[in-house]
Amino acid sequence: MTSDQDVEVVKQGGNQMFEIRNLKVHFPAQSAELFRRRIVRAVDGVSFSIGHGEVLGLVGESGSGKTTVGRAIARLTPPTEGSILLEGSDIASFRGSELKAYRRAVQMIFQDPYESLNPRLTVFSTIAFPMRIQGTARDEDEMRERCINLLTRVGLRHADIIDNYPHELSGGERQRVSIARALALHPRFIIADEPVSMLDISIRSSVLNLLTELKEQYGLTYLLIAHDLRVAYYMSDRIMVIYLGKIMETASTENFMRHQFHPYSRLLFSAFADLSSTELRWEKWGTTGEIPSAIDPPRGCRFHPRCPFRVDRCDKDPPPLSELEVGHYVACFNPQ
Amino acid sequence: MNPALRVTDLRVSFFTRRGEVKAVDGISFEVGRGEVVGLAGESGCGKSTTAYAILRLVKPPGRIIGGSIYCDGAEVLDLDERELRSFRWKKVSMIFQSAMNSLNPVHRIRDQIAEAVIVHERVSRQEALARAEELLSLVGISRSRATDYPHQFSGGMRQRAVIAMALALSPTLLIADEPTTALDVVVERQVLELLKDMKRRFDLSVLFITHDLSTLAEFSNRIAIMYAGKLAETAGTKQLFSNPLHPYTSGLVRSLMGLAERGGKLWSIPGSPPDLAAEIEGCKFRDRCPVATEVCSKQVPELLEVEQEHYVACHNVTDR
């Protein structure tokens, strides 16, 4: 029943790049009990769309399933149920040259630039690697030239670093190299999974500025995955909050920031020290526990055990995603 | 009254193949009793090295090469190994960014905390276990979870357990080195609230080390900004946010993302910190500084008081 409601979200707005329909990704869990199979419901029925040129900010805590959604769209993790449509075609059906084209068009930037770069490859080899695999450059010279252009584009002085190894670079430089690598194949869609959370605050903003510039220059579409609402706020056109594999709330960034209907969104919002006001929004909340395991998620609304506004129904039925304002969808029986 | 911690002209260098890296290059500051002081700066600025130096935990090729660390009536640099052992838990304790690294994976949480008590105080095992449980309940971990192993805890609970352990011997000073950096925002906020609560309850003095100034906004009394081994500015928290005087500090404050502005460019500080193995004349920030003048490449700016309790090391501010 939730999924029927969610499909409505998908239908509105015609010019969609991606349509995600009732996506579920379940994993077998390691279990101490030999004969009891347990399942991690990492993503448990989400439907949404991403428009051409849109930046969708997918916000949630560790364990919310946000990275799994990104990996499913990148075709790195197969869905258990549901489908992911790129301009109407199911990406699961892609084979051969179609799949190869999809892998070119969709690129991922990972959280940890220390782990996502091969320590044994120089910057040049790292960026040239996708070109080699996909055979998009004629020869070594063209590769090098394109590599230099890309490095310049991401704000690195290529002469200084093109033959360096990752350990010789700072965190910010590494993340820029990852971005250059993602751009090497002229993608249309980039999944940026916590692109700045491992970076120092002082260099986060410059990397976010870069991502914004690249989006405008190349007409890219982003799925931005973040636990930090400030990052999503700065970058995204639309924000979608996910909790234990379910969408809690989605709205345009303006609407979302003006008012969060879902108590969980409110909690995320209030977690930031507001430097411009002295009001201690957090005090109203106190301590409300942590995100539980996705192995046996709570019945009904998944947030109900932590929710200060829960009502009788919350532990029985899962609340459907319903439209409370134009384009503002909330899955809550007692929206605030 | 004596401050909980007084660091004077502290110098720590790492002697590497590339030469001497002056990680901490003559810094002085105090943490008053019951005060929370934030020490903030970018990766590699020497803030963690300062913390390790206070606990005498700097490992070769690093070495404390000068200065004084006066803590709760004793000169830390003069302590012998035996004195250091009790100093580290009873006078000063430290919590680290990665809680998992401070917990022993093969012992139950409660037993680890009790062990720390038994080693340092003459108490029975029963008493120590009871104290451990009491501490755990103070940080919000119930009796039923006290006998879990670290891997059974979530990231937030581990950090709570580490805080309980750090408080086990009622230290005067708590050093928190990026204690919430690895945590999600909501959990981060909970741990910060817990630290505030524990600070009140135990009348702690706290040195809080972070790269994220925004975590200090509602927590610290004063902030010291560190850059390339030196202090750039120190001031009361409100003053530092509302009237940052050093160009580096104002860059840091402006680059904080609030929830207020959107569209347009985020502010960022151009360039990256200098190579500390190289000999740098003058101000170490000058290459990234928007207002650097000739004097900046010749003379090292001193940390001078420009208004009450507000110190700045910048020629452009102090020479006016």
Q: Which domain holds residue B233?
A: 5-258+265-318
Q: Do B257 and A205 touch (CB under 8 A)?
A: yes
Nearest to B257 among A230, A253, A257 (CB): A230
Q: What percent of chain A has pLDDT over 90?
A: 53
Higher pLDDT, A287 or B197: B197
Q: List residues bridging with A81 in a β-sheet.
A: A24
For the residues A155-170, what does the mean pLDDT come to? 86
Q: What is the pLDDT of residue A273?
A: 53
Q: What is the pLDDT of residue A285?
A: 52
Higher pLDDT, A40 or B29: B29
For residue B293, the domain's CATH number is: 3.40.50.300
Q: Is the CB of residue A32 less than 8 Å away from at least one CB of chain B?
A: no
Most B CBs within 10 Å, among A67, A201, A241, to test the B interface? A201
Q: Do A202 and B252 touch (CB under 8 A)?
A: yes
Q: What is the pLDDT of residue A276?
A: 45
Q: What is the pLDDT of residue A237?
A: 94
Q: Do A202 and B255 touch (CB under 8 A)?
A: yes
Nearest to B186 among A230, A257, A268 (CB): A268
Q: What percent of chain B has pLDDT over 90?
A: 65
- A126-138 pLDDT tens trace: 999 988 888 888 8
For the residues A23-44, what does the mean pLDDT come to? 81
- Listed range (A107-121, A261-275, B128-142) with the worst mean pLDDT: A261-275
Q: Is the CB of residue A31 less than 8 Å away from at least one CB of chain B?
A: no
| Domain extents in chain A | 2-330
- Listed range (A60-64, A267-271, B228-232, B304-308) with the worst mean pLDDT: A267-271
Number of domains in chain B: 1
Most A CBs within 10 Å, among B189, B194, B197, B237, to test the A interface? B189
- Given a cut of 50, whether residue B201 has pLDDT beyond it is yes
Whether this model's ipTM surpasses 0.90 comes out as no
For the residues A166-190, what does the mean pLDDT come to? 90
Output the CATH code of domain A2-330. 3.40.50.300
Q: Do B258 and A230 touch (CB under 8 A)?
A: yes
Q: Do A229 and B185 touch (CB under 8 A)?
A: yes
What is the residue-averaged pLDDT of chain A?
A: 86
Nearest to B259 among A205, A206, A274 (CB): A274
For the residues B297-303, what does the mean pLDDT come to? 93
- Given a cut of 50, whether residue A10 has pLDDT beyond it is no
DSSP single-letter state for residue B34:
T
What is the residue-averaged pLDDT of chain B?
A: 90
C-alpha distance from B77 to closest chain A C-alpha (Å): 31
Q: Is the CB of residue A202 less than 8 Å away from at least one CB of chain B?
A: yes
Q: What is the pLDDT of residue B240?
A: 94
B318 pLDDT tier (thresholds 50, 70, 90): confident
Contact by Cβ (8 Å): A253, A237: yes
* pTM for this predicted structure: 0.83
Q: Do A200 and B43 touch (CB under 8 A)?
A: yes
